[in-house]
Chain A
Amino acid sequence: MQIMFRDKKYEIKGGISARDAIKKIGVDPEAVLVVVNGKLVTDDAVLKDGDDVKLVAVVSGGQLCIAD
């Protein structure tokens, strides 16, 4: 199955939890949300071949940094 993250595509074999797949591509599970076939899921969800998986980075500075 394909995992999209920050405009990059990763090819991973199905039958693996989202959490393990995230770790496999070198990303911290704490730093992303997992969207499978358009639905937000928890990271214990098991990914199947053919699933459309997107990782959404949770860190976003916006422009409020240093504004306190």
Chain B
Amino acid sequence: MGFMRCRKCGGAAVINMRQHKLSLCGEHYSEWFVAQTDRAIEKYKMFTRDERVLVAVSGGKDSLSLWDTLLRLGYQADGLYIGLGINDPAPYSDASLEKTRAFVESGEWRVASGEDPASPITRYTPLLHVVDIEETYGKSIPQIARDKTRGHGKPCAACGLTKRYVMNRLAHDKGYAVLATGHNLDDEVAVLMQNTLRWQTGYLARQAPVLPASREGLTRKVKPFCRFYERETATYALVRGIDYIYDECPHAVGNLTNFYKTLLNQLETQSPGAKLSFYLEFLRARGEGAFEPFNQVETLHECEVCGQPTTAPGRCAFCRMWDVEKLDRATV
């Protein structure tokens, strides 16, 4: 069997990254991946080892790989799992939580591979926060979505709004300096493509590896995997033996993001490196001020119920959707 060789050791490669003209074996890939993550964290000034990091975990390959990588690098990274209650037709949410729990309990991230200098045995013992939406707010995501859309349409709008809120709220209440998500380059370019096709300059201005906490009550958001292709995070998960949820949320099937991912992969196949340069050149243009919103009208208000920052006076979008009148601030 003819195969590519690892550039470092000449062994059989597990991945060939055409955009970097680099092929590596499992051991050297794992080392490279961890080191690249640390470089991105430093380059974009995401966080330091003195800061507490909250990782949004879904049980998928990206978020578990991110948590694993941060722990191997010695960061103080805890996890937040949000139970959406999407268990029909298959128990998707329950299975995702199980994978997440199994990951923390396995202590897999503790195992140093001996030769691998990128994996010092970490002394940080991670915490997993679980917020079950139905237990906390009385309804699951599919239930609230059904109520709000009268049974029509996907639950994604309600889901996205709720997740954003819960993540921000918990990060803030528990005193985390930063909220990290596992978005990879394919996620980023899919969104970039959607926003570019419609010249949504406001959204383009806000798409970045780091979103500073612009206001009191919000937490800095970072995407340490934003320069990795999706196939790279998947490869890392396989090489590390991370048992992740393979299925996608049933509501993600056929969504626009996946459609753009498919298109961009076709482009990448014809022209290796196209996705990477699309993203990096966008960041360059953005850094040069190409998308500064010329009309920033975001005035600061506090939600009269939960106290979170909001753009309009009264209740925030989350409290309006959930019809929250009074919120026990202690329980998220």
Contact = CB atoms under 8 A, between A and B. Distances in A.
B3 to A, nearest CB: 5
B115 to A, nearest CB: 19
Given A44-B4, A46-B1, A65 B238 contact: no
A62 B82 CA distance: 12
B265 A33 contact: no
Interface string A14-52: 000000000000001111010110011111111010000
A67 to B, nearest CB: 5
B269 interface: yes
Interface of A is mostly: loop
Given A30-B265, A40-B14, A68-B221, A63 B96 contact: yes
A66 B58 CA distance: 13
B12 interface: yes
A41 B164 CA distance: 38
B75 to A, nearest CB: 19
Interface residues of B, number: 59
Contacts of B277: none
Contacts, number: 133
A42 B56 contact: no
B3 A42 contact: yes
B262 interface: yes
B241 to A, nearest CB: 11
Nearest to B164: A67
Given A62-B249, A63-B60, A44 B182 contact: no
A45 B1 contact: yes
Interface centre among A29, A39, A56, A65 (most CB of B within 10 A): A65
B23 interface: yes
B205 to A, nearest CB: 14
Interface of A: 28-31, 33, 35-36, 39-46, 48, 56-68
10 contacts: A28-B269, A30-B231, A33-B235, A42-B4, A44-B4, A60-B61, A60-B244, A60-B246, A62-B248, A64-B60
